[in-house]
Structure 1
Amino acid sequence: MSDNEAVVDEVRVEVDARGVARIEIDRQHRMNALNGKASATIMDALGEWSQRDDVRVVVIDGVGGSFSTGADVIDIAQAAGGNPTGGLDATQARGVISSGSDLARAVRSVRAPVIAAVDGPAVGIGASLAFASDLVFATERSYFLLAFINIGLMPDGGASMSVAASVGRARANAMALLGEKLPAAEAFGAGLLSGLVADRAALDAKVDKAVGKLVGTSASALRLTKAALDAHTMGDFEAALDRELDGQTELLQSAEFQAAMAAFAGSSKS
């Protein structure tokens, strides 16, 4: 491991000599679901890199055949277990959702371009993490799923805005209200992806090519271009996070969500 590389709770962060910063999520036993420590590691790295002029591009990747299957439900269930009623109180609920909001906000805080390399499922906050990135490249076997509605919740991490801004109202409604899976080919056709490739090897080559292009481009021009595009396409991002935070805080205390957590706890013990 180099001086510029660290692994904390199965998340690898590294900055190479070219200024290419990488985050690799490696929680394969949970299909790269993010627990609190993993999310904090990612946010800390992004927060540091947002202040560094030498960071030219950031790549977020998931290893082992998954990008990320979202928030680790075990973490949420354990948080709920601390409440005698078996559910989350308002403070706990707001804390859980704030983590997802802060994760997406950390991605957007980076002034350099952020690339999401998606191979396999990107679900829940994992999908939100990809959608918050500037460039999204995916393999043909990948898919995106806003599964929140299936457990009595709503999209968060800014996905209620970023998805609709990319694919339009009708497709976004199908994903968010029906919990429909969006295969990578359809996501590419709908304008959600920057590129679609056949497999993992092709994805690595595609990302490396994009990284090489970005590293060879004026850093100031990239930052100013990104900021200008964000002003037009992501102007409501903070407002979306606020709406999601309020909505999810309410929903995480609902009987429907508590029932979903109880069902998960029962299945995990069997």
Structure 2
Amino acid sequence: MTQAEFVDGIWSGIDDTGVARLEIDRPAQMNALDGPASHRIIEVCGHWAGDERVQVVVLSGRGGAFCAGADVAGMATDAAAKGGFDAGDSRAIIENGSRLVGAVRALPMPVVAAVDGPAVGIGASLAVAADLIYATSSSYFLLAFVKLGLMPDGGASATFAASLGRARANAMALLGEKLFASEACEHGLINGVVDEATALEAVVARATSKLTRTSASALALTKAALNGATLDRYDDAIAAEIAGQTELLQSPQFQAALAAFAGAGK
């Protein structure tokens, strides 16, 4: 990456070929996202959306994890300090996650996700928001929300169903079933699987090289048409997720989960 900058756990930079990279680097949290990291991704994507230098965006995580979801341990600390989350706190949390994934989806240029390791919760939503997704064979996708008394967010109720179909998406969302990369590729969630991180870089490099040699206008219009055809109810899904998750973040089940995280950190 040239012109690389590290802010709030996020590396960002644009190289001379027009490839922009966003890399999550919070190893102690397995790249789980807290508020500042999420806000940084939103900020960078907002800038890149209007930057004519950017031909393609690559999302990844450093250190053998793509993103372990929201930083629930950090949320537990905040909740303990406040004596729990009220409706305003809860809505702010879920709206932040929706803005995070929305900022990635709003990029007019193609977005490529390079997934090495777990993509969990909002991390899975973030990965599947990309237009092309490649993963190492040890990687997996997990909508773990139900295990915390929550529901999928970040548009996952729309994007996973659009890619996998209703039955398999239901198994992931309702049963919390883990989907390894090979199965994810077989069922259409991702585009390809490789064995190692070095091979993943090579696959992503080939894809980005093709994209940077293609008309930016053609790519943007094609992306918009495909999203319109496959995710026409995305905004409805986001509205349902915000309403439902605002309620669930205040539920006794989630409060118990937060207390368990807080206790584990002592």
Check whether TM > 0.5: yes
Measured after TM superposition, the shift of residue 239 of structure 1 is 1.3
Amino acid at match of 2:136: T
Please, what TM-score do these two structures have when normalized by structure 2? 0.98
- SS for the counterpart of 1:157 is coil
- The alpha-carbon deviation at position 87 of structure 1 amounts to 2.1
Deviations 1:18-51 (A, max 9, x none): 2111001111111000111111111111111111
Q: Contact 1:143/1:183 (CA < 8 Å) preserved in 2?
A: yes
Hey, what's the Cα distance between the residues in 2 that align with 1:179 and 1:20? 34
| AA of the residue aligned to 2:33 | L
User: Given the alignment of the two structures, is residue 133 of structure 1 paired with residue 135 of structure 2, yes or no?
Assistant: no
SS in 2 for 1:48: helix
For 1:172 and 1:107, the matched residues in 2 are separated by: 21
Distance 2:264 2:78 in 1: 17
- TM-score calculated relative to the size of structure 1: 0.96
The one-letter code matched in structure 2 to 1:233 is T
2:76 paired residue number = 77
Matched, 1:54 2:40: no
Match of 1:7 in 2: 6
Q: CA deviation at 1:192?
A: 0.3
How many residue pairs are counted as aligned between the two chains?
Answer: 266
Question: Counterpart amino acid of 2:194?
Answer: V
Match of residue 116 from structure 2: 119
Q: Distance in 1 between matches of 2:216 and 2:260?
A: 50
Aligned counterpart in structure 2 of residue 156 of structure 1, from 147, 153, 157: 153
Moved over 6 A (4+): none
Per the alignment, residue 23 of structure 1 pairs with 22
* Number of the residue aligned with 2:172: 175
1:236 — aligned with what? 233
Let me know the Cα RMSD of the aligned residues: 1.1
The equivalent residue for 1:100 is 97
Asked whether the 8 Å contact 1:36–1:75 carries over to 2, the reply is no
Question: What is the one-letter code of the residue matched to 1:165?
Answer: A
TM superposition shift of 1:214: 0.1
Matched letter for residue 43 of structure 1: I
Report the residue type matching 2:67 in the other structure.
Answer: S
1:220 and 2:244 matched: no
Among all aligned residue pairs of Structure 1 and Structure 2, give the percentage whose two residues are the same amino acid.
57
Rounded to whole Å, the distance in 1 between the matches of 2:242 and 2:152 is 10
1:62-121 per-position Cα deviation (integer Å, ceiling 9, x unaligned):
0110000000012311331243xx321000001111111001100111000000100000
1:32 has 2:15 as partner = no
Distance in 1 between the 2:84 and 2:173 partners? 24
Q: Where does residue 143 of structure 2 map in the other structure?
A: 146
Partner of 1:18, secondary structure, is coil
C-alpha distance in 2 between matches for 1:76 and 1:30: 13
**Unpaired stretches in structure 2, ≥5 consecutive residues:** none
Residue pair 2:73, 2:265 contacting (<8 A) in 1 also? no
Conserved? CA contact 1:146–1:180, under 8 Å? yes
Cross-structure match for 1:87: 84
